[in-house]
Chains A and B, each alone.
Chain A
């Protein structure tokens, strides 16, 4: 029990010190509101339904962009990983594009797509594309040649080989790519929503900033942190569910 509590001691101490500093007037509410005020703002937003609305909008944006960018990355990664011709045709181009930070595309994205939903989707989708693509490609290329040779000599057809040996062998690497993408997804979303938005967590915080509502700004920041953590938990759960055989994720025999 004590061991489980230990990691939380420091955050709790910081919260208490922060609360005391705010109440004693050491810390102005304009700079940092007290924790209780943040909690109150959170509660108010939750009751009014605003919170659910904005989180819903942000999550929908994030995950549709992930579906588009990650899906494309998976597809192209499978393609270039499997067929040398596809690699020869696509990989150099993709490797060059990879070196452009997604955020450097903002001016161009705004010019092409304006500042609507499409711009945000494109920005996030481009960012999450590469981790999935690269890890899928390498995952497929790094499947143990010996296992492939064995499976061939045991009479597996090409499709069976792909389905039973190559894909499962590449899966750990693909999931690593997905986890990277999930982390990147929120970062890019924050930037995209801060640029301009009519709804979403970014809108919530930018709007609050206009009115110096630092408590709501803080709620927004904490929401991003929470969602980021949640995405990580989901990624871990996927790894546990899909890689039960993997030493790193599960040690149970059954």
Chain B
């Protein structure tokens, strides 16, 4: 028998290998598992939302969005704000808020407008 004949024989054997095959049987307690699944499917909206958020794809997308927002904020602030102005703002803002500039005698004596 040459190689091609041998291959043809194997092909026919393979095609005939599922003749008279027995039917595979479903795993036991199928009905119980179907019932449990149907009960799970009718869970509360909060449970469904929790399961949705807990999915890796959703969690990953959320994480990417947070990182993207952070990068955008840092980049935007970094390009528009002058470092000198920013420092001045940081110092000036609380000073304006709480008026902790040095009081003079003039200020003490002239409380009336």
Do chains A and B interact in one complex? no
